[in-house]
Amino acid sequence: MNIQQLLPQDLALFNHFKVLGTITAVEAATLYKVRSITSNICRLRKAGMKITTSFKKDLTGQRYARYSAQAVVQ
């Protein structure tokens, strides 16, 4: 993975995945001011990171995506 070419928000998400393993768009917006997590996830995938997407529903029935990465290697 070539992390030198990633943007600062991408690096923040990369480190978040290393520590916690998962994130949602709402968490990314709150913690890292990410407005479009899909573009960040796309760049991380292009850099070689294995990220899976799981679609869930909250208590109100609203759908959301939870992104997961395991065994992140630098």
Strands 22-24 and 51-57: unpaired
Q: Between residues 1 and 18, which one has the greater pLDDT? A: 18
**Does a structural domain hold residue 34?**
yes
pLDDT tens digits, one per residue of 26-54: 999 999 999 999 999 999 999 889 999 99
pLDDT tens digits, one per residue of 17-29: 999 999 999 999 9
- What is the reported pLDDT for 10? 95
Domains in the chain, number: 1
**Does a structural domain hold residue 63?**
yes
- Would you place residue 70 in the very low, low, confident or very high pLDDT band (cuts 50, 70, 90)? confident
**Does a structural domain hold residue 37?**
yes
Please give the Cα distance from 23 to 46 (Å, whole number).
Answer: 18
**Does a structural domain hold residue 50?**
yes
- What is the reported pLDDT for 5? 79
